[in-house]
Amino acid sequence: MSEAYRLVKNAPLDRHSTFHVPARAALLAEINNLTALPELLTLDETRDKPLLVLGDGSNVLFTQDFHGLVILIAAHGMEILEEDAASTRVHASAGDNWNELVHWTLARGLCGLENLSLIPGRVGAAPIQNIGAYGVELAETLATVEAYDRQIGEWVQLTREACDMSYRQSVFKRQPERWIITAVELILPRSAPLKLDYAGIREELTSMKVARPNAMDVSNAVSRLRRRKLPDPAVIGNAGSFFKNPVVSRLDAEKLQTAHPELPVFDAPDGKKLSAAWLIEACGWRGFREADAGVSDRHALVLVNHGKASGAQIWSLAQRIRDSVQEKFGIRLEPEPRIL
């Protein structure tokens, strides 16, 4: 036991995952001082064990116990590193709450994160998934990621380019056992065009009677939309969107839209992005429930735990949904959370 970290054997994980499914970790370490991380990883009881770094567990589904080391980073701290009239460089620790960071930046007159309001989880998880919502992705404002590289046993700072980010993807997701993210740096402008053309933001601002919105207004609109559409994990277990929106070729998108004119289609760098929620709902899954595993009646993209579902039951339901979409539309959905 060290003051810098606390190590627990056979630790329950249900409160460390927003699905709230029963699972246990062989070892769980809560780290308060990141300088102790190399020491922790070289202990006899932790060395060579499978590793999982958890934030709030808002993007993970445990289908069984984890027979390795789970690390919780408890270190916090947001600060401005440098600024000029146009932009500001912000540093945030991996243990900081993401939504609190968004509001911390907005309170200081910065913009760029407003469309990412109310996304659950910690700052350290954001680069892994290249989190995105309402037409914005983290990669647009990310400067660097600080991490411990287990492969070489050193602290490193990766540029945005080195993070190799794309839609819900990054080098950290491709090599989950290699990197332990400890902080991020963002470059945020003081003034930039607002992104209002995605998924009802303009309509929400109109209902709020906001004629000339600023970044805070957009944040409030996005938060209202998310609260209305997505179930609260504190009330019913879920990990938000369970499947990625599939990206297909322009030709395939045209064929699908010809057969299904109502199918929402969006531009994407590598083709066209389809609405996974629409595909799932068209297969009749919205509001489905089997025992305590189900699909939200508010949003077809959200799988839920009504109380006592196991991770295996939720994953089994997800696979059935995926198979039905592939059978009906020829599209194979990919899960967004990490399945363990």
Residue 270 or 156, more confident: 156
Element (H, E) at 305: strand 302-305
pLDDT for 113: 97
Judge whether residue 114 has pLDDT over 80. Answer: yes
279: exposed, middle or buried (Cβ count in 10 Å: 0-12, 13-18, 19+):
buried
Share of the chain above pLDDT 90, in %: 74
Q: Which pLDDT score, from 0 to 100, does residue 303 have?
A: 97
Q: Any residues with CB less than 8 A from the CB of 235 and at least 6 apart, and which? A: none
| Under 8 Å between Cβ of 215 and 134 | no
Confidence of residue 216 (pLDDT cuts 50, 70, 90): very high
* CATH architecture type of domain 5-73: 2-Layer Sandwich (3.30)
Quick one: tokens of 243?
């499947």
The dihedral sign for the CA sequence 88, 92, 97, 98: positive
In the chain, the N- to C-terminal Cα span, in Å, equals: 27
Q: pLDDT-based confidence at 324, cuts 50/70/90?
A: very high
CATH classification of 78-189, choosing from 3.30.465.10, 2.40.37.20, 3.90.600.10, 3.40.50.720?
3.30.465.10
Fold that domain 237-339 belongs to in CATH: 3.90.78
User: Which pLDDT does position 47 carry in this prediction?
Assistant: 84
Q: Is pLDDT at 291 greater than 50 in this prediction?
A: yes
Q: Give yes or no for residue 203 having a pLDDT over 60.
A: yes
Structure-token match 């179930």, residue found: 231
Which alpha helices (H) appear in 120-214, and where do they start and end?
Answer: 126-129, 160-163, 171-174, 201-207
pLDDT tens, 154-171? 999 999 999 999 888 899
Q: Residue 141: is its pLDDT beyond 70?
A: yes
Residue 1: which pLDDT band, with cuts at 50, 70 and 90?
A: very low
Task: Compute the distance between CA of residue 211 and CA of residue 32 in angstroms, rounded to an integer.
Answer: 45
Instruction: State both tokens at 175.
Output: 């090599």
**Own/partner long-range contacts of 228-236 (Cβ < 8 Å, ≥24 apart):** 228/298, 229/298, 229/299, 230/296, 230/298, 230/299, 230/302, 231/296, 231/298, 231/299, 231/302, 231/304, 233/18, 233/19, 233/20, 233/58, 233/120, 236/296, 236/304, 236/305, 236/306
In order of 19, 242, 335, the CA distances from 245 in angstroms are 21, 10, 9
Q: Give residue-wise pLDDT tens across range 32-45.
A: 888 889 989 999 88
Q: What is the mean pLDDT of residues 109-136?
A: 93
pLDDT tens by residue, 221-265: 999 999 998 888 889 999 989 999 999 999 998 999 999 999 998
pLDDT at residue 2 in the model: 56
pLDDT per residue as tens digits for the range 298-321: 999 999 999 999 999 999 999 999
- What residues does each domain of the chain span? 5-73, 78-189, 237-339
CA neighbor of 144 nearest in space, from 202, 72, 71, 82: 82
As a whole number of angstroms, the distance between CA 309 and CA 297 comes to 17
Mean pLDDT across 124-131: 92
pLDDT given for residue 240 in this prediction: 87
Enumerate residues 6+ apart whose C-beta is below 8 A from 49.
26, 27, 67, 68, 69
Please list the active-site residues.
Answer: 168, 241, 336
Residue-wise pLDDT tens digits, 68-98: 999 998 888 999 999 888 889 999 999 999 9
- Mean of the per-residue pLDDT values for the chain? 92
